[in-house]
Amino acid sequence: MANHKQALKRHRQSVAAKGRNVHFRTTVRNIVKKAMAAVGKSKDLATEAFRKAESVLNHVASKGVIPKKRAARKTSRLAKALNQVA
């Protein structure tokens, strides 16, 4: 365990950041699953789910929780699935 004041503070910060990151990653997984499930239903539901997923992905990527290219890849795949809905 850290002994210096700065190291103790840094540890507290890293624990808090890890908690936030876990929450955001879980949220991203769930929202992408919901969006893919909505693609199988109606076009309106799929469009709404896609917009929400895109927003969450961009937000999480901007915070550095996931890489920007991973967010772009997920958004692209969702858009491709949405465009194939008749």
- The domain limits of the chain are 5-83
pLDDT tens-place string over residues 13-60? 999 999 999 999 999 999 999 999 999 888 999 999 999 999 999 999
Task: Please name the CATH architecture into which domain 5-83 falls.
Answer: Up-down Bundle (1.20)
Percent of residues in the chain assigned helix, strand, coil, to nearest 5:
85, 0, 15
pLDDT surpassing 90 at residue 78: yes
Give me the DSSP letters along the chain: ---SHHHHHHHHHHHHHHHHHHHHHHHHHHHHHHHHHHHTS-HHHHHHHHHHHHHHHHHHHHHTSS-HHHHHHHHHHHHHHHHT--
pLDDT surpassing 90 at residue 63: yes
- How confident is the model at residue 86, as a pLDDT? 62
